[in-house]
């Protein structure tokens, strides 16, 4: 069952807060009267994770409520939405145009199956002139959580999530190989097992995790995510300042927050502010990152985020994703589910994580000059201002900032 975020009014209120604090140089997108962000994955019980993908949809189209009341579904789009970011946009915004990875592999860990993954990825890459990435040419590999070929059953929400993830990696790093590891269910144990499997595969330099549950202890699950030499990224969540989400709150991962990304007339050509939904917080159970000790996080334990990239669904990515178990279409997606695979792909472009036995989450703090400092926007109210309010230097919504090239990763 899908959940519409805007029904509570929370998303609308937080978007207003961001606009109020954004400088003139960053033109905030105006919410369209007929559009809202819709979660593609349902809430889950303790011990499990929900994916964080958000689909930007028209209120007048086929929500379950509208159909029940006799409404009509808008035909599935056969072309990318005009407002959706393209690979060229992503590469321009983060100063990675022309960079290549030399065929390094980015792993995507998600739950459940997606039978048309290879076909849909082919449509996305063909649309934007990217080289083919198929099983037969060795670019794409799909495994179950144990490294075998017994792929799990289809789940529409998680399939949308997977489509977003592989398209995001393709957008940022067209020559990266992609490994998708599908957990049997969305339990943290099964997802963690999939991460451990991904880390064992040859060529993997980064692993993206666009999901999370409540703040959990590394003493229980940390072994799944502790892989020095591999950049393990995790989305901080889409609920703004509300405490920490695991695995983003793990001391072993790079916690990735989110921004609103719009074109402007600056030298960079783009402006960013903290997206109101970007998860931020202070873990109550996991250790602080030693590399962040001098960054004034105000948190005695693990603070998040570490870095950020575009996540606002209003400024999100054009994605070709399933609309059912057999059909797919174009739509616009966001959430920190977008920012995590983007940053994972940029880690792969840098190649730096494999050259050290240190955890990759230390690199942004060692090289903060390699980031665009995001100094405006809010994710709510909090007792320690930098946990929810963006400003100069480190802040909870965006960490040390968004990548400016890959020198900082």
**What gap in Å lies between CA 262 and CA 273, rounded to an integer?**
9
**What gap in Å lies between CA 397 and CA 256, rounded to an integer?**
9
pLDDT, position 31: 54
pLDDT, position 61: 54
Q: Which of 145, 95, 171 is closest to 338 using CA atoms?
A: 171
pLDDT, position 320: 98
pTM: 0.90
Q: What is the residue whose two structure tokens read 């890959």? A: 406
Q: Which of 123, 253, 261 is closest to 191 using CA atoms?
A: 253
Averaged pLDDT in 10-residue chunks for the chain of 409 residues: 37 35 44 78 87 87 43 64 97 98 97 98 98 98 98 97 98 98 97 98 97 95 97 96 91 98 97 97 96 96 97 97 94 98 98 82 97 96 94 97 98
Contacts of 133 (CB under 8 A, 6+ apart): 121, 122, 125, 139, 140, 170, 177, 178
Strands (E), 121-249: 140-144, 177-183, 204-209, 211-214, 231-235, 245-246
Q: Which of 22, 38, 41 is closest to 30 using CA atoms?
A: 22
pLDDT, position 171: 98
pLDDT, position 14: 36
């Amino acid at each position: 069952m899908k959940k519409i975020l805007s029904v509570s009014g929370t998303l609308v209120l937080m978007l207003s807060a961001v606009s109020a604090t954004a400088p003139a140089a960053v033109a905030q997108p105006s919410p369209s009267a007929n559009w809202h962000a819709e979660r593609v994955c349902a809430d889950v019980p303790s011990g499990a994770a929900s994916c964080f993908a958000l689909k930007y949809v028209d209120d007048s189209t086929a929500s379950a409520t509208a159909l029940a009341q006799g409404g009509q579904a808008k035909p599935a789009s056969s072309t990318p939405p005009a407002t959706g970011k393209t690979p060229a946009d992503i590469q321009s915004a983060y100063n990675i145009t022309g960079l290549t990875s030399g065929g390094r592999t980015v792993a995507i860990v998600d739950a459940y199956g997606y039978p048309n993954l290879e076909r849909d990825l082919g449509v996305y890459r063909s649309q934007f002139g990217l080289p083919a990435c198929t099983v037969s040419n060795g670019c794409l590999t799909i495994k179950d959580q144990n490294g075998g070929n017994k792929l799990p059953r289809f789940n529409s929400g998680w399939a949308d999530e997977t489509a977003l993830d592989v398209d995001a990696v393709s957008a940022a790093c067209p020559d990266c190989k992609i490994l998708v590891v599908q957990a049997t269910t969305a339990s943290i144990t099964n997802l963690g097992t999939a991460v451990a499997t991904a880390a064992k595969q040859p060529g993997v330099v980064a692993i993206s995790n666009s999901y999370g549950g409540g703040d959990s202890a590394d003493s229980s699950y940390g072994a799944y995510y502790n892989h020095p030499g591999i950049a393990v990224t995790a989305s901080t969540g889409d609920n703004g300042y509300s405490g920490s989400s695991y695995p983003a709150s793990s001391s072993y991962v790079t916690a990735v927050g989110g921004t609103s990304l719009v074109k402007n007339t600056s030298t960079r050509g783009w402006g960013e502010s903290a997206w109101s939904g970007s998860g931020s917080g202070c873990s109550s159970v996991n250790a602080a990152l030693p590399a962040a000790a001098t960054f004034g996080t105000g948190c005695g334990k693990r603070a998040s985020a570490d870095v950020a990239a575009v996540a606002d669904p209003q400024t999100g990515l054009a994605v070709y994703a399933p609309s059912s178990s057999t059909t797919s279409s174009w739509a616009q997606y966001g959430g920190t589910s977008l920012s995590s695979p983007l940053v994972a792909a940029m880690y792969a472009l840098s190649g730096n994580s494999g050259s050290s036995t240190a955890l990759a989450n230390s690199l942004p703090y060692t090289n903060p000059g390699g980031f665009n400092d995001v100094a405006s926007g809010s994710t709510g109210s909090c007792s320690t201002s930098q946990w929810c309010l963006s400003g100069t230097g480190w802040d909870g919504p965006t960490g040390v900032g968004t990548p400016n090239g890959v020198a900082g990763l």
